[in-house]
């Protein structure tokens, strides 16, 4: 377990993933009934953009830093994401569990799972401020499956593994298929790197072949130096009504700013 998200926090892929996360949470909040968020690979919750890890890659400079002066009327999910980032202060970037914790209402619950001891310790401190959020140190796949379906019977599962083991796509596909069977109405937000189109397609095929009825992908590509991640995808299962339109609108604004190609595409059960 060598992966540290601090090297990548706030990069182009984080921006797209976290705007999607905020869009889904905003949708879930349209109804008063409680919902659950399970974040299987949560990370440390907050990242120091001036720290050694961030400085070494400079990835946030080509990501969230480019959005800091963004003004004017924005799609609500992008605006809410930017508000949360700005509230974190100029040198910090909020990770998925902190963004979720900040958006939850008293009736909602967050379980954030992180395996790495140091990342977990930091996460626990970050979430200690939020009475309805809990950090657990465990294996994200096994633990999140045990938590499904959540008592609220509505909610979101975020799966964002580090892709440092060779069979991560296979493990992720198996967990997503098993998870979506246990929680068929749940929304799943899954992140993956696109280093090979065929590997990404095989992963999506595996998930869709497992019985998922409704899914879309968001693909983001930038130009990056050789050897650096330049393309990443999100697979969203059971995207809420209007999520596609939200992401089209966000993509239109983010494309020139991030200098990225962002494609939103239905894979199954288009609205």
Q: Tell me the site size for ligand SAM, rule CB under 6 A.
A: 19
Query: DSSP letter at 239?
Result: P
Six-digit token pair at 41?
């690979």
Check binding of 108 to ligand SAM (CB under 6 A).
Answer: no
User: How many whole angstroms separate alpha carbon 2 and alpha carbon 162?
Assistant: 9
How far apart are CB 57 and ligand SAM at their closest, in Å?
Answer: 14
Angle, vertex CA 141, rays to CA 135 and CA 143, nearest 5: 50
Cis peptide leading into residue 266 (ω within 30°)? no
Q: Does 113 bind ligand SAM (CB under 6 A)?
A: yes
Stretch that binds ligand SAM, among 37-45, 195-203, 207-215, 233-241 (CB under 6 A): 37-45
Question: Should residue 96 be labelled a site residue for ligand SAM when binding is judged by CB under 6 A?
Answer: yes
Q: How many CB atoms lie within 10 A of CB 259?
A: 13
Total residue count of the chain as it appears in this document: 271
Residues serving a catalytic function are 160
Q: Does residue 125 interact with ligand SAM by CB under 6 A?
A: no
Q: Which of 27, 102, 109, 116 binds ligand SAM (CB under 6 A)?
A: 116
Binding residue (CB under 6 A) for ligand SAM from 7, 26, 43, 102: 43
Degrees to nearest 5, angle at CA 11 with 30 and 236 = 40
β strands within 120-165, DSSP E: 133-137, 155-159
Binding status of residue 59 toward ligand SAM by CB under 6 A: no
Structure tokens at 192: 């993956």
Q: Rule CB under 6 A: is residue 136 a binding residue for ligand SAM? A: no
Stretch that binds ligand SAM, among 24-32, 113-121, 194-202, 261-269 (CB under 6 A): 113-121
> Site residues (CB under 6 A) for ligand SAM?
1, 3, 5, 17, 41-43, 95-96, 113-116, 119, 139-140, 160-162
């Amino acid at each position: 377990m060598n992966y540290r998200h601090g090297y990548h926090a706030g990069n182009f892929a984080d921006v797209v993933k976290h705007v999607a996360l905020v869009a889904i949470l905003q949708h879930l909040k349209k109804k008063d009934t409680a919902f659950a968020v399970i974040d299987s690979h949560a990370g440390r919750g907050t990242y120091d953009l001036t720290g050694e890890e961030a400085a070494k890659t400079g990835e946030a400079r080509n990501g969230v830093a480019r959005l800091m002066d963004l003004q004017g009327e924005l799609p609500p999910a992008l605006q809410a994401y930017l508000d949360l980032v700005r509230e974190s202060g100029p040198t910090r970037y909020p990770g998925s569990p902190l963004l979720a914790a900040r958006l939850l209402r008293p009736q909602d619950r967050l379980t954030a799972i992180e395996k790495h001891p140091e990342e977990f310790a930091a996460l626990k401190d970050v979430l200690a401020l939020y009475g309805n959020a809990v950090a657990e140190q465990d294996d994200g796949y096994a633990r999140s499956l045990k938590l499904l379906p959540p008592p609220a019977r509505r909610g979101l599962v975020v799966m964002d593994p580090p892709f440092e083991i060779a069979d991560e796509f296979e493990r992720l596909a198996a967990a997503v298929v098993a998870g979506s069977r246990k929680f068929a109405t749940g929304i799943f937000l899954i992140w993956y790197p696109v280093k090979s189109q065929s590997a990404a397609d095989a992963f999506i095929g595996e998930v869709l072949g497992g019985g998922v009825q409704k899914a879309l992908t968001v693909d983001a590509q930038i130009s990056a130096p050789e050897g650096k991640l330049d393309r990443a995808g999100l697979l969203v299962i059971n995207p809420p009504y209007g999520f596609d339109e939200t992401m089209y609108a966000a993509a239109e604004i983010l494309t020139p700013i991030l200098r990225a190609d962002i494609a939103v595409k239905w894979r199954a059960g288009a609205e």
